[in-house]
Amino acid sequence: MIIKHQQKRLCLGLAGCLLSTGNVFAHDPVFSPGPHVLFKDGFEIHAEFAQSEQGDEKESEQAVAFKYGLSGDWVVGIELPYETVKDDLGTEQGVGDMTLSTKYRFWRKDTLGVQETAAIVAKVKLDTGDDQVGSGTTDTLLGFTYGYESLKWYRWASVRYRFNQDRSIENKGNLQRGDRLFVDFAGGYRPKVNDYREADTVWLLEFNGEYSGRNAFNGVNRNNTGGSQWFVSPGIMWTLRNFAVKAGVQIPVLSNLNGEQDDSDYRARLEFEWHL
């Protein structure tokens, strides 16, 4: 059943959907990366719960991440998920692939009550997970993100590209997994500027686009793989001093998947974050 499960997941190109958000920080959007980093020697503890449904498949993930600020512009992190996948073949669960990440803010323009920044992000998903939920490959993601933050309004944009490693399947051949491109736009609005000792709320709205290349098996394209999807994603960011809660839901609005594939039904995410 495990092999069937893996083959199905690999063919659909769904593995790791929930892990595709890149480096997310408190004052970044929920489903896409922003340029926010930690202060020098700052430490962040991050807990995350995510769930998605696509046709008869339901995937959920609980993850913990730790991040450290090497400087006021450079942060590194490590993330470890636990994943559960349910579909018509049954349920699989286990420790997912570990991810190492980094973000470097290379440009910053500060004015009174406004900060504009840009950063590059990179992450490597290692082949460390349990067989039943891990992708069995080492994949690399590179991206660029821009952010404008003010006391009232926020806006972000980002683009990321994930290079998916080929995977050899024992006694069967080589699966070439299509790469993925992510394009994101997001906005935020703070209704009231409070004192730092009071709770702070920012409402978010994101537009997340994803394009996946076709998978190929031994050089032959798989029909029912790859395609593009766009999501509208309302969310909320709530902070109190050095503690933050973020939540959001991705609703598919445009789907152009190749062949016969189930459209995504929804994806939801809840995050808790402490800065120390």
Partner 1 sequence: MNKLNLVSLKSLLQCLLFSLFISSLTLSTVSSAAETHYQLQVDGLVCPFCEYNVQKKLGKLDGVLKVTANLKDGVVNVLVADGKTLSEKQAKKELTDAGFTLKSIESHQGEK
Binding site for partner 1 (CB under 8 A): 26-27, 37, 39-42, 71-73, 105, 108, 110-115, 149-151, 193-194, 196, 200, 239-242, 244, 275
Comparison of 37 and 141: residue with beta carbon closer to partner 1: 37
Nearer to partner 1, 100 or 193 (CB): 193
Give start and end residues of each alpha helix (H) in 111-241: none
Q: How far is CA 69 from CA 55, 186, 253, in A?
A: 40, 25, 37
In the bound state with partner 1, the residue whose beta carbon lies nearer, of 139 and 271, is: 271
Closest separation in Å from C-beta 151 to partner 1: 6
- Residue 239 Cβ, how far from partner 1 at the closest point, in Å? 5
> Strand ranges (DSSP E) for 112-170?
114-125, 139-150, 153-163, 167-169
CB of 142 to partner 1, least distance (A): 23
125 or 275: whose CB is closer to partner 1?
275
Smallest gap from residue 89 Cβ to partner 1 (A): 44
Residue pair 29/156 in contact (Cβ under 8 Å)? The answer is: yes
Buried b (16+ CB within 10 A) or exposed e, 66-101: ebebeeebbbbbebbbbbbbebeeeebeeebbbbeb
Q: How far is the CB of 271 from partner 1 (least distance, A)?
A: 14
- Our CB check for partner 1 shows the closer of 16 and 69 to be 69
Give the DSSP H or E segment for 7.
helix 2-12
